[in-house]
Every structure is written in C-alpha cells, then in structure tokens.
Amino acid sequence: MSIIRTENLCFSYKSGDDENQIITEVLKNINLDIKKGEFVSILGHNGSGKSTLAKHFNAILLPSSGKVYIDGIDTSDESRLFDIRKRAGMVFQNPDNQIVASIVEEDVAFALENMGVPYEEMRKRVDDALKSVGMYEYRFHSPNQLSGGQKQRVAIAGIIAMRPECIILDEPTAMLDPHGRREVMKTIKNLNKEYGITIVLITHYMNEAVESDRVIVIDRGEIILDDIPENVFSQAEKMKNIGLDIPQTSELIYLLGKEGIKLDSHIITEEKCVEALYELLKG
C-alpha cells in the first residue's frame, strides 16, 4: 500500500510585477511512491526544493500541475483537507515556532482539541503520545523549561496524538545540539519500528540518512537518486557533483579507492567499515 504518491508533480511560483514576470520552477515532474511503514530520507542542499516537496505532502502547498495522493486522497480536494492532515502530520525545523500552548500536555492536545475529540479519548491519546516520545514526566512543564531536543519531541508528540499514518519531518534536528539530535533520531526510529508509522525525514545530515530504509536525493527540483542508502552513498562522485556530502565511512572508502585500495563501496556503517579495514590490514 502506498501512503504518499505523486504523479508528475510540478510546482512553480511567479514573482516580479505584471510586466516582467519571473516564473521559478521549484519542482519538476516528481514521481514518487512511498509505501506504508517505510522510513524515507530526502536529501538535497539548500534551495533544492526538498522543503517545498514536503509541504505538498500535507496540502500546505498544492501542485501547479500533476497530482499528490495521500492514502489515496487527492490533496487538491479541499473538502478532505483535514482528513489529509490527520493522516500526514508535519514537524518543522524550529521547535519553538510550532508549540502553541504554555503547558506540554496542552500542546500535545492541541490537534485533538481542534478535531473535537471527546475528553476521555483525548486524555488517553495525549498520555500515549507523550509516553511514546518519552516525555510523559514533563507533561506539566512549560515548553520554556525544556531543551531543544525535548521541545522537538513534544512537537512530535503533538503530531503522534493525531494517530497519523505518516509523519513528515522537515529538518527536525537542524537547530539542535548533537545530544538533542540523537534524542530526536532515536524517537523517530522508535516510532517507525514500534508503531509502524511511515517516516519521511528531510535532512542534510548524512549520518541521519544512513539510518533510513530509502534515500531520495533531490537537486534543482528533480529526483537524482532513489535507492537504499548503500547504493546512494556508494556513488560518491555523483553526490559530490551536486554539492552534497557523504557519510564519513563512504568518504574514507572513496578516498582509499582513489589511492588504489579497493574496499566494498556499499559499506556505510562504522562497524562494517572497521571490520573491512581490519580484514584488509590482516590480509
């Protein structure tokens, strides 16, 4: 079953005055199919259109041409807007700018209050959501007392409470310190593994992308690569050409390869890399 499907998705916006209109094409013919339960990373450098693409996944933006379907619902169908947003929740970069209430548990309840969920059900869902991100003990705190990573987990809980099929995270760790980044990544992976929630992670941290099932690389509004992480990061030249980094292990293997030491370029985790190097030095 596919949860997100796009058909020839194009998006452009107009700027300038009436006489010299400038049309900027941000997305060109995107065809994607994301299955339920997948953990997908979308990579691309600044201005590649990755955030614009993400905003199409819960109808914040509508395509200029082409279609986007969320769980089979066409995003241009305005009467089903809330059905789409219930299914595909979105988490943004800055945790401060998406927390509405002054008490953690009330913020988590915000979406449910909007949806008119009755009290008993709401209470249960809020508690469950807070527990699933490990923030239950902080439910009476003010967001201002929390660290960046904790705030971001509260923001994720606010989405989880809607019981979505899919969560789209737009660079959720970009404003966090390394500790907060690890916390959030752990939470995201747990939601994917334990609860089977589809994750679409937009990022420019390569070591985050390594942990996903599938990596989609976007450059200038087009999909360049769409494969498992091993196959994407083994194409070091191609990644470097579009101005993206590769994980440190891939980088090491690539550089060794240039010097004539051939290692399997599909190795992307540190453990595997250490093993391979050990074998190499032993033999």
- Positions touching another protein (CB under 8 A) are 58, 60, 82, 85-86, 89-90, 92, 94, 96-103, 105-106, 109-119, 122-123, 126, 142-145, 158-159, 162
Mode of pairing for the β-strands spanning 198-203 and 166-170: parallel
Q: Which is nearer to another protein, 177 or 279 (CB)?
A: 177
CB of 142 to another protein, least distance (A): 8
Instruction: Reduce the DSSP state of residue 35 to 3 states and report it.
Output: strand
Work out how close the CB of 83 gets to another protein at its nearest, in angstroms, rounded to a whole number.
Answer: 10
Residue 164, Ramachandran bin (φ over 0: left; ψ between -120 and 50: alpha; else beta): beta
Least distance in Å: CB of 253 to another protein? 39
Q: Residue 202 is encoded by which pair of tokens?
A: 């937009």
Looking from the CA of 215 toward its CB, the CA atoms found within 13 Å total 27
Q: Which residues contact 98 (CB under 8 A, 6 or more apart)?
A: 91, 92, 155, 158
Q: Which is nearer to another protein, 86 or 204 (CB)?
A: 86
Segments in 48-202 forming alpha helices (H)? 50-56, 81-87, 104-115, 119-132, 148-160, 178-195
In whole angstroms, the minimum distance from the beta carbon of 90 to another protein comes to 5
Q: What minimum distance in Å lies between the beta carbon of 100 and another protein?
A: 6
Paired sense of beta strands 65-70 and 166-170, if any: unpaired
Q: Which is nearer to another protein, 140 or 281 (CB)?
A: 140
Residue 238 phi/psi, 5-degree rounding, is -60, -45
Tell me whether residue 96 or residue 279 sits nearer to another protein (CB atom): 96
**Choice between 56 and 214, CB closer to another protein:** 56
- Give residue for tokens 């980094």: 245
- Closest alpha carbon to 159 in 96, 202, 101, 112: 112
User: Is the Cβ of residue 59 or residue 188 nearer to another protein in the bound state?
Assistant: 59
* Smaller CB separation from another protein, 71 or 219: 71
Contacts within 8 Å (CB) and 24+ apart, 122-131: 125/161, 125/163, 126/161, 128/160, 128/161, 129/157, 129/158, 129/160, 129/161, 130/104, 130/105, 130/157
Number of C-beta neighbours around residue 154 at 10 A: 26
Least CB distance from residue 101 to another protein, whole Å? 7
For another protein, give the closer residue by CB, 106 or 211.
106
